[in-house]
Amino acid sequence: LGTKNGLIVFDRRTEKYRHYHPAPHLTDGLKAISINDIFHDRSGVTWIASSHGALERVSRYGRKFKLYRRSHDSGGDAVSLSSNRIVTIFEDSRGILWLGTQGKGLNEYNRKTGMIKHYRHSKSNPGSISEDNIYAISEAPTGTLWLGTHEKGLNKMDMESGTITRYPRGEPKKGKSTAGPCSNNITALLATSPTTLWIGSYEGLSILDIPSRVFTTYRHEPGKPGSISQDLIFCQDGDRIPGKR
């Protein structure tokens, strides 16, 4: 469990909690203060993203922490993170870690080579990410990477070329739009099949039918029990509409 003052680990066998408070004076202690994301990769490694400690790798038994930070002397080279403010972590089908940052774009971390590639917004390049605040990441089974930004909508990345297709907020007609999702403020993404992407936002839920590029929007409707309970969607799990019964 990530908190604003360290990490809490719940042992389901003993039903007890173990607290890890920030210990910057210890070489292998937790550095994170406010934890934004906790991610367990396919090899069993746990990663922690924070706004004050960058990226941390947790040992198998949760007793040691290894810190990855931006090197101020790197000049943006390929072995340094672009930012110490990591918002979200995602592992793709190839085992690559993707790190969304606050204000410094997207990082592609190849753990086998130790190389890190940076993707940044460029005003002169419409094929770049639409902004440098990346708050959500998901991969469709077809190998397409989807990115949710804080204020500039949805991005689709071709992972071979790194080229981005941008989907800003659309104006849904009767709940449907071919222009984009219901909000530019994307908070959660979940690709559940080669044809379906769920998009959580500040203004409701959009479901993208990928082949037709049609976005269907669900919002809270006062007095209608079958609508979602509120429009602010932070996380999603499976083929369910959060708050809808």
pLDDT of 206 reads: 93
Q: Please, which residues have CB within 8 angstroms of residue 161's CB and are 6 or more apart in sequence? A: none
pLDDT of 37 reads: 87
Flag residues of the chain having pLDDT under 50: 74, 238-245
Q: What is the number of residues in the chain?
A: 245
pLDDT of 245 reads: 35
pLDDT of 239 reads: 45
- Residue 207's identity, in one-letter code, is I
pLDDT of 21 reads: 73
pLDDT of 244 reads: 43
pLDDT of 228 reads: 84
Residue 212 CA: distances (Å) to CA of 104, 154, 178, 186, 237: 32, 16, 8, 21, 23
Q: Which helix (H) or strand (E) holds 114?
A: none
Q: pTM of this prediction?
A: 0.84
pLDDT of 28 reads: 64
Cβ-contact 48, 32 below 8 angstroms: yes
